[in-house]
Structure 1
Amino acid sequence: MDYYDLIIVGAGPAGSTLAQSLQDSGKRILLIDKQDFPRDKTCAGWVTPAVMNTLKIDRDDYSHGRTLQPIRRFRIGMMGQAPVENDHGDVVSYGIRRCEFDTYLLDRVTAPKMLSTPVKSINREGGNWQVNGTWEAPLIIGAGGHFCPVARLLGEGPGSHETIVAAKEVEFEMTPEQAQICQARGDTPELWFCRDLKGYAWVFRKENYLNIGLGREDNHRLTEHLEAFVQDMKDTGRIPADLPGRFKGHAYLLYAHAERPLVDDGILLIGDSAGLAYTQSGEGIRPAIESALMAADVIRDAQDYSASSLQLYGDAIAERFGTRATELEQGWQVPDWIKTPLATTLMRSHWFTRKVVTEKWFLHQQVPPLEAAV
């Protein structure tokens, strides 16, 4: 049995950020992921300047051989009505490909990595966690997304009334003919809200790559909504008619309605494993990065890995992202006061779509980078 101080299950942005943050702590770290890297990851794929700054990513260095699409505008509308376009002037976000972004972060980690390694068993023995009967540590970190095996150890929390968002998308490199036909512009992602406001779709061009998808809280109607949206985008010439491949799916929890515990004795969840995606947008990269940094601070200074010691992480999450909603506070994406006949009018407003939808819900410009907040 190989012994470590902590084992991180999941090598995406949350897991790799945690591992890198603890590289100089003297702790022995093992990072495990069921897939090899680079790997496909279902995600629209954009990060704000706040994320780039928090991760200390040099934009010039990153852009060499990788996609880094500056975003200055957003085109936002409700399905069935004309959209509005807002110009933010400066770069407010960057389009990235997750296969490149995640690999870039993972390559910065010097700790041992076991890739292409599914977690088949996690057992508790003598106060330590044993993974696959091969590796042992007193602390195990769940960073493997919604279906993370570490998260299953903690259960779904009281009530289990969590709002699970399901999404499908496709990302592909366009041929010269497709690129010429496609009306979507690289610096202007398109967001299209469903009429019932239970989800939204997107068309996102990143240099020569095109990403199209839709996410909703009611999985049984997801394909129906997606097919209608894609056909409308084809009919109006926004996207090429000949899309390759199948749409891939994934699921995640929204922070305000997730009920998963974050810590227990010798166990801690970060990123989508903890259900930290922003409630209004479903965006999860920034919460994943910030949760990893907060976890690193607690782990570095913890006297032991008891639930009471690790609860400092839970307190930090609540302070940063707010307390989770109660069982009575249902709904997804937008507050209840938006879910009225007024919604069609608001989605035609340049002020509302810019100041509320884009800058507050999707870009979180009102929230300073983590370093400035602690």
Structure 2
Amino acid sequence: MEYYDLIIVGAGPSGSTLANALRNSGKRVLIVDKQTFPRDKTCAGWVTPTVMESLNVNLDDYSRGRTLQPISQFRIGMMGQPAVENDHGEVVSYGIRRCEFDAYLLDRVDSPKALGTAVKSVERDGGNWVVNSTWQAPLIVGAGGHFCPVAKLLGDGPGAHETVVAAKEVEFQMTPDQAQRCQARGDTPELWFCKDLKGYAWVFRKGDFLNIGLGREDNHKLNDHLNAFVSEMKASGRIPDDLPGRFKGHAYLLYDHAERPLVDDGLMLIGDAAGLAYTQSGEGIRPAIESALMAADLIWGLEEFSAQSLQPYGEAIARRFGNRSENQKAGFQVPNWVKMPIASTLMRSHWFTRKVVTEKWFLHQES
């Protein structure tokens, strides 16, 4: 049996960031993931300059051999009506490929890794957790996304108020002919809101790579909305009419509706495992990174990991992202005041699409 101070389940951005942040803490850290890296990850894939700065990513270094698409404009609309294009006059985000981004962050981690290893059992043995009857630690951190096995130790599934968003997307490298026919531009991601405002779709070009997807809160209508959107984009020439492969699905919780406890005795959740995706946009990379850094700040000085000693992490999350109990009545994606007949008018407004949709909901420039 190998002993560690903590075991991190999930080697995505939150897990690798936590492990890297604890590099010089003296803590013995093991990071476990069922996948080997680089691995395919369904995600539209953009990060703000703030995220890159918080990760201490050197952009020149990262861009060598990897996709780093500067974004300075957004094209936003409601399905069935013309889009509005806003130029922000500077780089406000970067397009990345998750297969490259996640591997880059994990490569910086010098802690032991058990990759390609599924977590089959987590059992309590005195004051420690035993994983796969092989490793033990007094603290286990769930960083494995919505279906993280550690999250199951804190609850049996989504609660009555939890909004589980289902999304489907495809990312592929376009042929020269497809790239020439595709009207979507790399510096201008496109966001298209469903008419009922229960979700949105996107077209995101990153060099010769194209990512197309749609996410909604009602899973049973997802395919219908996706097929209609793809057909509309093909007909208008925004995307090639010969898309390869199948759309892949994934799910996540919106922060204002998630009910998962974040800590318990020897347990902690970060990133999507904790249900931290922004409610208005569903974006989860920035909350994942920030939650990992908050967790590291606390773990650094702890000698024991009771629920009481870990509670300051939950309090820090509430201070940063708001009190969930006060926000559970809020709607998915957009506030209730937008869900009115004026919504289609607002989505044609340069001021609203820039100041509210892009800068507040998606880029979070006020926070």
Which interval holds the TM-score relative to the shorter structure? over 0.9
SS state of the match for residue 301, structure 1?
Answer: coil
SS of corresponding position for 1:348 = coil
Report if the CA contact (8 A) 1:47-1:286 is conserved: yes
- Give CA-to-partner distance per residue, 1:14-49, whole Å, 9 cap, x none: 000000000100110000000000001010000000
Residues 356 and 348 (structure 1), Cα distance of their counterparts in 2 relative to 1, 3 Å cut: same
Matched, 1:173 2:173: yes
Give the conservation status (yes or no) of the 8 Å contact 1:4–1:135: yes
Give the gaps of 5 or more residues in structure 2.
none
- Report the aligned-residue RMSD: 1.1
Residue of structure 2 equivalent to 1:19:
19
| 2:109 equivalent to 1:109 | yes
Kept in 2, the 8 Å contact 1:271–1:287? The answer is yes
Q: Is the Cα contact below 8 Å between 1:156 and 1:260 reproduced in 2?
A: no
2:351 corresponds to: 351
Counterpart CA distance in 2 for 1:78 and 1:185 is 19
Letter in 2 for 1:153: L
Measure how far apart 1:304 and its partner are.
Answer: 1.5
Q: CA deviation at 1:161?
A: 2.5
TM-superposed deviation, 1:330? 4.3
Q: Which residue of structure 1 aligns with residue 94 of structure 2?
A: 94
* Partner residue, 2:308: 308
Using structure 2 for the length normalisation, give the TM-score.
Answer: 0.99
Partner of 2:128: 128
CA deviations over 1:55-101 (Å, ceiling 9, x no partner)? 01010000000000000000000000000000001000000000000
Q: Report SS of the residue matched to 1:313.
A: helix
Per-residue deviation, 1:137: 0.3
Residue 244 of structure 1 corresponds to 244
Q: Give the Å deviation of 1:253.
A: 0.2
- Partner residue in 2 for 1:195: 195
Over residues 217-245 of structure 1, what are the superposed CA-to-partner deviations in whole Å (9 max), with x where a residue is unaligned? 00000000000000000000000000000
Whole-Å Cα distance in 2 between the matches of residues 156 and 347 of structure 1? 39
CA distance in 2, matches of 1:141, 1:333: 28
- Indicate how the Cα distance of structure 1 residues 194 and 325 shifts in structure 2: closer, same or farther if over 3 A, else same: farther
Residue 331 of structure 1, CA deviation: 1.8
Following the alignment from structure 1 to structure 2, what is the Cα–Cα distance between the partners of residues 319 and 301?
Answer: 20
**Count of residue pairs brought into register by the alignment:** 367
Alignment of 1:1-374 (within 5 A): 1-155=1-155, 159-326=159-326, 329-367=329-367
Which amino acid in structure 2 is aligned with residue 30 of structure 1? L
Quote the offset at 1:303 in angstroms: 3.7
Structure 1 residues not aligned, in runs of 5+: 368-374
Q: Measure how far apart 1:142 and its partner are.
A: 0.1
Determine if contact 1:156/1:259 at 8 Å carries over to the other structure.
no
Q: Distance in 1 between matches of 2:195 and 2:309?
A: 46
Contact 1:25-1:300 within 8 A present in 2 as well: yes
Which whole-Å CA distance do the structure 2 matches of 1:356 and 1:156 have between them? 36
Change in 2 beyond 3 A, CA 1:3/1:102? same
Q: Deviations over 1:251-289 (max 9, x none)?
A: 000000100000000000000000000000000000000
Identity percentage over the alignment?
Answer: 77
**Structure 1 residue 127, shift from structure 2 partner:** 1.2
Residues in 2 aligned to 1:257 and 1:8: alpha-carbon distance in whole angstroms = 25
SS in 2 for 1:149: coil
